[in-house]
Amino acid sequence: MHKRFVNHCTIELTLKPDGPILIKSGREGADPTKPDMEFVDTYYEGRRSIYLPGSSLKGAIRAHAERIVRTVGGERRPPEPGSLWASDPLDDRDETNNPNKYLEKLKDKKKKEKAEDRHLSIGAELYRQSCFTTQLFGSTSVASRLRIEDAYPQKGSLKLEERNGVAIDRVFGSVAVGPFNYQVCTGGEFNTKIHLKNFTLAQLGLIGLVLRDLNDGWFGIGFAKSRGLGTVAVTLKKAVVQYPGCKLDGEGGFLTLSESRIWPQPKLLGVGDLVGEDAEAYGFPCEEQPIEPDGMTAMDLEVGVQLLFESEEVVKQKLFTPAVQAWKTVVIPPEIA
C-alpha cells in the first residue's frame, strides 16, 4: 500500500512543559561544571539547543496507543485476524505475540509462495495479520504510517534548571547512589508536526485520543515520569488533510482525477474510501464522514485537494471528533452496537 499515496494528514502542535521534563542525552561528559544528566541537544538556528526527539515522542505516543487498544480490545493475538488487539513488540518470550517475530516468519513463508503465484500480495497479508497499533506505527515487516518531526523550541522561550537527587536503598532506606544532579526544562514552547499517510479514520481518531490524554497528564515523555517529570500541555495549532489524487469540481465538492468518483461536499476520507478494489485485500473499511472544514482548496500546482482546519477548537471538533466516531465503530462494530 505504500507504493500509492491516497491521503495525508499533517497536524501542527506545540508542546509546553507542565512541570520539569528531561530527555537524557545518553552521554556523560568530563566537564565537572555540567550536570550528571544532560538534556539531549543539537544545532538549531545556528546555535546549540535542547529539543524533543521525534523518536522519543513517537515511542511515548505508541505506548499509550497500545494501552488504549488493550483496554477496549485484547492483548493477545487472536486465532483469526479482524479483532481489535495490540501486540507487544518487546516481548521476546512469546514469538506469536511479537510482530517483529511472527510477521518475519509469515513474510518468509509468503515469499516462497509468491515464487509460485506472482499475483499473491504479501503486503496485504502482512497488514491483515498485524494488530491495530502495528498497522499504524509499523514493525520490522510493516512500514509505519505515522511520522513525528523533532520538536524544536521557539527562540527565547526556554527555561532550564538543575536539580539534585539521590537513589534510596529499598532495604536499608539509606542513600544507595548519589547525590547526583540533572538538567530539566521547566518552560518553553516546542513546535512539531505529526504526519499520517494512507490512514484510516479510526487510526486518526486514535491519535486524537492519545493527544487528548497527553494534554490531560495521563502519561508523560522522557525521564523519571513516575517521579513527577515529563508532563506537557498540548496545543493543536492547525491541521491539513490532503487527497493528492483528487481535484475540485468548482461547485463546492471534489472528485478523483479520473472522475470515477465524485463527492459533492467536503468529506473526511480514509484510505479504504480511495483505493477501490485494494480495500478488500487489506481489510480497509469505508469510513467517509461529512465535515465542515475552515476551507477546501487545491494543493500547490493545482493538483490535489486539501481540507484546512485553522484553530485548535476546529481541529478538535471538526477533524478529531468525526475520526473518533470511526474509531468507535472499530471498538463496537455496527452489527453489535
Grid coordinates representing 40?
539531549
**CA torsion through residues 312, 328, 196, 230, sign:** positive
Distance CA 99, CA 120 (A): 21
Distance CA 180, CA 164 (A): 6
**Residue in 17, 87, 74, 43 with CA at minimum distance from that of residue 230:** 17
Distance CA 269, CA 322 (A): 11
Reply yes or no: is the peptide bond before residue 322 cis, omega within 30 of 0.
Answer: no
Predicted pLDDT of residue 107: 85
pLDDT band at residue 25 using 50, 70 and 90 as cut-offs = confident
Instruction: Tell how strand 47-50 and strand 41-44 pair up.
Output: antiparallel
Average pLDDT, the chain: 89
pLDDT band at residue 80 using 50, 70 and 90 as cut-offs = confident
Say whether pLDDT at 192 is over 60. yes
Predicted pLDDT of residue 27: 66
Say whether pLDDT at 114 is over 70. no
pLDDT band at residue 172 using 50, 70 and 90 as cut-offs = low
| Residue 19, phi-psi category: left (phi > 0), alpha (psi -120 to 50), beta (remainder) | left
Grid coordinates representing 48?
546549540
Range 243-255 average pLDDT = 93
Predicted pLDDT of residue 228: 87
| Residue 129, phi-psi category: left (phi > 0), alpha (psi -120 to 50), beta (remainder) | alpha
Range 176-197 average pLDDT = 88
Instruction: Tell how strand 232-243 and strand 190-197 pair up.
Output: unpaired
Say whether pLDDT at 166 is over 70. no
pLDDT band at residue 41 using 50, 70 and 90 as cut-offs = very high
Predicted pLDDT of residue 335: 57
Predicted pLDDT of residue 170: 74
Angle, vertex CA 269, rays to CA 253 and CA 56, nearest 5: 135
User: Residue 9 contacts by C-beta under 8 Å, 6 or more apart in sequence?
Assistant: 195, 196, 197, 199, 204, 239, 240, 241, 242
β-bridge mates for residue 240, sequence order: 10, 308
Predicted pLDDT of residue 83: 87
Lowest-pLDDT range of 25-39, 202-216, 293-307: 25-39
CB atoms within 10 A of CB 46: 6
